[in-house]
Structure 1
């Protein structure tokens, strides 16, 4: 091979590898909540993300100090519209103002990628009072994004969760009957506008809810397939099975090409059965490794984008004791609890 051809081959190889490496590096993010009285400042948190090469972040409300700290970092951001704000965004003018204040005011500068209009709204849960507000708010926020000329950069969605679906094996997955009237029009709206669905997926809670659950299956440690589906689909990991169950539900709801972004996933380090530092370390390490290299059996050619829950243990979170112990960084020392590599 001549020197010129050798150099051409190297350039071609780099042209192939660099985009692939970029996709891999950007597949993992972190969810940043602030339900604690001992948390570092927003600026310190963004600095911590930069130091650990975290390229994605989810914010649960338009935290002005966090958005200021994110300016110029190129960290990709999911910004939530909190559930209590959904009713106000039934007014298109209010949605336009929300986008102006919380998106356009920081653009360019903050690398917004998704807006989560509501989180885990479900007709059968305590969030049922928001059911009628989600889709109209999504439409209005999407229209405001389009009017601002940002539709190619920022995708509007909502964050659902695996508890809204059921079915086994994953190809049998579908949305619960009492949720179909709520979620199917949302899926169709996403499909019509080439928008993704955000989904929170927790093998830990699925494991707890399954008598004689398979811990290795939940922690990405299975040495052989646990579930066979559609003849040639083999499931070694509960995470993949939960995600593909949602994909099946989305397909049946009219969104065969809708991509799913995993907007939360994590494992607690204390508070209940199998909630330990060692299990949490195993889950997070294996999830990162899995997401960087693999799709799911249903979507094998599409790397999964995952946001780890959560940045810190949050000592003022409500609900079960485990809710306070999902942090991957210690809020006091700002040291990684699990020595994760992003």
Structure 2
């Protein structure tokens, strides 16, 4: 997909820069790590955006991850105060990488900031699981991020909008025990420059964490209770105590970053959740147990054994079931709400 240059006039750029430069800086410091929700839209029966926004506000959900900068999805959020993580699709990455910073600036103006105020944008998630899903795009990931970052600098937004890229746990060649955490050596040519960028810009490593996958793919080594925060057993690793897959996975990433020389990069969980149907261990009760525990740990800034007391920002997956997804059946059943707005189970986000 070519970068869209014609949707914004070049003569508008000086005005664009001057307006964005005077926007007030937003603080990234909060008393508790935030809980957001992913707004997946691969479905044929979703409610209209105004109804979605009402649902979010009624349930105290103030942060949303949108996977694609579709104007139909972005524009309704304008002026609502809801803060956004906006995905930049994998297929756009090569064009952003190969073109100029000015082209990235134009792309941001045309595809993002004409629909939503920069003050509502907290993160750009550049691609999603690029290193595993679309290895063709891997060499372009960091150059695209750098061009976008320089464009945000020109707009005076580089401190308030953070750039990163979500990764699956499978980028780790070793994850058990957590202290053995290490990145796949075939991916470090991309990951190390990315970590350098994250470290220099004080941006988070974005990771998608699914203990449900660990459970269904690793019988009998991962028990259902260990995946659902219900285990009474304690696993000891370097004098640290682990009672669940969630903490162990996050800390495996922390150890993997330390192995590459980066010890201070925060970890953000950009997707996590539990399905209500479609497979062994799926069900509304288990989904409630899992997501309720994630919310509790996040709001309480519990952190992980490796980083106790350091809250981990999280985006729960997913707002609704997505009947348009292909693959295994449980992929369609992560919704926390039905399309009529009724909760699939009694989860609280506050």
Query: What is the TM-score of this pair, normalised by structure 2?
Result: 0.86
- Alignment-derived partner of residue 134 in structure 1: 141
- 1:189-204 map, 5 Å: 189-204=197-212
What does residue 56 of structure 2 align with? 49
Aligned counterparts of 1:216 and 1:189: Cα–Cα separation in 2? 37
Instruction: Find out whether 1:250 has 2:248 as its counterpart.
Output: no
Does residue 172 (structure 1) correspond to residue 187 (structure 2)? The answer is: no
CA 1:109–1:99 in 2, change beyond 3 Å: closer, same or farther?
Answer: closer
The 1-side partners of 2:277 and 2:345 are apart by: 14
> How far is the alpha carbon of 1:128 from its aligned partner?
0.9
Cα gap change, 1:52/1:22 in structure 2, threshold over 3 Å: closer, same or farther?
farther
Q: Which ranges in structure 2 are unaligned for 5 or more consecutive residues?
A: 1-26
Q: Partners in 2 of 1:174 and 1:95 — Cα distance? A: 33
Q: What is residue 114 of structure 1 aligned with on the other side?
A: 123
Residue 339 of structure 1: SS of its match in structure 2?
Answer: coil
Q: How far off its partner does 1:109 sit?
A: 6.6
| Structure 1: stretches of 5+ with no match in the other structure | 1-18
Paired residues of 2:175 and 2:249 also in contact (CA < 8 A)? no
CA shift for structure 1 position 254: 3.1
Contact residue 184 and residue 254 of structure 1 kept, 8 A: no
For residues 247 and 191 of structure 2, what CA distance do their matches in structure 1 show? 21
1:315 Cα offset (Å):
0.1
Contact 1:262 1:304 in 2 (8 A): yes
Match of 1:297 in 2: 305
1:115, distance to aligned residue in structure 2 (A)? 0.4
Matched, 1:327 2:332: no
Rounded Cα–Cα distance in structure 1 between residues aligned with 2:277 and 2:116: 39
Structure 2 distance, partners of 1:334, 1:340, is 13
1:89 deviation in Å? 0.5
CA distance in 1, matches of 2:210, 2:139: 26
Q: Any idea what SS the aligned residue of 2:282 has?
A: coil
Q: After alignment, is 199-208 or 272-281 more displaced?
A: 272-281
Aligned equivalent of 2:277, options 256, 270, 286: 270
SS of match in other structure, 2:165: strand
Deviation at 1:107, TM superposition (A): 5.6
1:98 match: 107
C-alpha distance in structure 1 between counterparts of 2:92 and 2:130, whole Å: 13
Length, aligned pairs only: 317
Which residue among 309, 315, 318 is the counterpart of 2:323? Answer: 315
* Segments ≥4 residues shifted beyond 6 Å: none
Q: CA RMSD in A?
A: 1.8
Is structure 2 residue 208 aligned with structure 1 residue 221? no
